[in-house]
């Protein structure tokens, strides 16, 4: 089974005849940021000390600005320019990773067919989430063939209804907003044909800078003067949730500075805020913690993998279900900040999951 990995790569053309390849430079800067030592950083990225110094000096020459400062007792630190380069790289990775992971998964499937015939593969279309990523990596480690495509919840469920995937990942909030989002999902789900595989419960809330310097407390602060918001893309479950939260608080979207922005993952929203380009956004706790942000919890939601009732009995999908029920998988999901794997692997009918929201009782 092939494993394809695609990573973002970018250059900066400070001078047209000498584009700056950022790959080695950024790896070095990240290590200097972590260790405070050029020598340790060079060793960590497998560069000679002399080459690392040359790389830094060449970059500083092109920018005509220093990238490092050295203070007595403080070691070597990054300048504001160097920190901006590191944050730019983290933002690029956060924004592009789902697309690149999906493409890599598709290529793995195509290459596998060319070399080994046509092996059966679990096709999973899912709204981007940390539990989905953890599950996919775990399945790959166990050599279970999975082809993953990240897309919004509605598109994933529509693909399941058309028979284009075996598992469709989507999430619904627990509480007052459950019914309208369930109704939106049920456009694609048939109680007689489909069932649900519980993946996790997770926390949604507001991301703010470390220490919450603006003193934000909830949704009502999003329209305050001077507050810069970063949004998710149209059609995403998190954006739909935001729109309902704003309606409940009687806040017009037009009153929010940045409502029209669009980032495609929780990590991209967190990176945007951590780099100082916005003050607040909505997403899951895991992303906030990974980017060193404070988190203001608002609600919890359940993440499901929808599948056909007949598909649940197929051997390969049974293997996936068994993995989800395993202690190892539960431990992986529980280790994600804000995630709860207590019910992971449970199979539910639509009525069992949503009760009267489905209009059925069995």
21: left (phi over 0), alpha (psi -120 to 50) or beta: beta
User: Tell me, what's the pLDDT at 113?
Assistant: 67
* Mean pLDDT of the 203-213 span: 97
User: Tell me, what's the pLDDT at 310?
Assistant: 92
User: Tell me, what's the pLDDT at 361?
Assistant: 44
What string of H, E and C letters represents the secondary structure of the chain? CCCCCCCCCCEEEEECCEEEEHHHHHHHHHHHHHHCCHHHHHHHCCCCHHHHHHHHHHHHHHHCCCCEEEECCCEEEECHHHHHHHHHHHHHHHHHHHHHHHHHHHHHHHHHHHHHCCCCCEEEEECCCHHHHHHHHHHHHCCCCEEEEECCHHHHHHHHHCCCCCEEEEEEECCCCHHHHHHHHCCCCCCCCEEEEEEEEEEEEEEECCCCCCCCCCHHHCCCCCCCEECECCCCHHHHHHHHHHHHCCCCHHHCCCCCCCECCHHHHHHHHHCCCCCEEEEEHHHHHHCCCEEEEEEEEEEEEEEECCHHHCHHHHHHHHHHCCHHHHHHHHCCCCEECCCCCCEECHHHHHHHHHCCCC
Shared-domain flag, residues 104 and 146: no
pLDDT digits (tens, 9 = 90+) for 244-255: 999 999 999 999
Give the global pTM. Answer: 0.81
Shared-domain flag, residues 65 and 194: no
Buried b (16+ CB within 10 A) or exposed e, 339-359: bbbeebbbbebbeebbeebbe
Last residue of a domain, one of 117, 145, 167: 117
pLDDT digits (tens, 9 = 90+) for 9-60: 887 876 666 777 788 899 999 999 999 999 999 999 999 999 999 999 988 9
Shared-domain flag, residues 307 and 197: yes
Shared-domain flag, residues 154 and 61: no
Shared-domain flag, residues 146 and 265: yes
Strand bridging mode 280-284 / 167-173: unpaired
* Mean pLDDT of the 206-220 span: 97
Q: What's the CATH code of the domain at 190?
A: 3.40.190.290
Shared-domain flag, residues 325 and 209: yes
Give me the number of domains the chain comprises. Answer: 2
Last residue of a domain, one of 117, 148, 170: 117
pLDDT digits (tens, 9 = 90+) for 52-97: 999 999 889 888 899 999 876 678 999 999 988 888 888 888 878 7
User: Tell me, what's the pLDDT at 362?
Assistant: 44
Last residue of a domain, one of 82, 117, 152: 117
Shared-domain flag, residues 267 and 186: yes
| Token output for 163 | 């028979």
Q: What's the CATH code of the domain at 99?
A: 1.10.10.10
Shared-domain flag, residues 70 and 133: no
User: Tell me, what's the pLDDT at 107?
Assistant: 76
Shared-domain flag, residues 251 and 291: yes
Shared-domain flag, residues 90 and 45: yes
Q: How far apart are CA 356 and CA 350, in angstroms?
A: 10
Cβ burial of 217 (10 Å; 0-12, 13-18, 19+) is exposed
Domain interval for residue 41: 1-117
Backbone phi, then psi, for 296, in 5-degree steps?
Answer: -110, 105
pLDDT digits (tens, 9 = 90+) for 164-173: 999 999 999 9
Shared-domain flag, residues 112 and 127: no
Shared-domain flag, residues 250 and 285: yes
């Amino acid at each position: 089974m092939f494993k394809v990995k695609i990573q973002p790569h970018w250059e900066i053309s400070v001078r047209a005849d000498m584009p700056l390849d950022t790959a080695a430079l950024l790896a070095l800067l990240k290590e200097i940021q972590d260790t405070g030592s050029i020598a340790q950083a060079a060793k960590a990225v497998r560069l000679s000390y002399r080459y690392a110094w040359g790389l830094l000096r060449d970059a500083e020459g092109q920018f005509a600005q220093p990238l490092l400062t050295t203070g007595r007792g403080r070691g070597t630190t990054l300048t504001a320019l160097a920190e901006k380069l590191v944050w730019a790289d983290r933002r690029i990775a956060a924004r592009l990773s789902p697309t690149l992971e999906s493409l890599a998964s598709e290529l793995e499937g195509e290459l596998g067919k060319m070399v080994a015939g046509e092996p059966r593969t679990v096709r999973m279309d899912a709204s981007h989430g940390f539990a989905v990523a953890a599950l996919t990596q775990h399945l790959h480690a166990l050599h279970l063939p999975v082809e993953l495509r990240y897309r919004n919840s509605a598109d994933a469920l529509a693909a399941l209804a058309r028979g284009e995937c075996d598992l469709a990942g989507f999430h619904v909030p627990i509480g007052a907003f459950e019914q309208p989002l369930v109704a939106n999902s049920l456009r694609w789900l048939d109680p007689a044909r489909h069932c649900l595989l519980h993946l996790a419960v997770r926390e949604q809330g507001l991301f703010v800078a470390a220490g919450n310097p603006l003193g934000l407390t909830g949704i009502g602060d999003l329209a305050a003067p001077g507050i810069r918001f970063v949004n998710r893309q149209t059609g995403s479950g998190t954006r739909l949730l935001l729109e309902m939260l704003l309606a409940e608080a009687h806040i017009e979207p037009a009153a929010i500075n940045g409502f029209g922005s669009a980032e495609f993952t929780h990590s991209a929203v967190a990176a945007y805020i951590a780099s100082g380009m916005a003050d607040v956004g909505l997403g899951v706790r895991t992303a906030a913690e990974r980017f060193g942000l404070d988190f203001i919890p608002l609600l919890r939601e359940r993440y499901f993998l929808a599948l056909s009732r007949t598909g649940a009995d197929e051997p390969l999908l049974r293997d996936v279900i068994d993995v989800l029920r395993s202690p190892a998988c539960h431990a992986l999901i529980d280790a994600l900040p804000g995630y709860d794997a207590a019910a992971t692997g449970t199979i539910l009918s639509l009525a069992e999951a949503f009760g009267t929201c489905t209009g059925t009782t069995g």
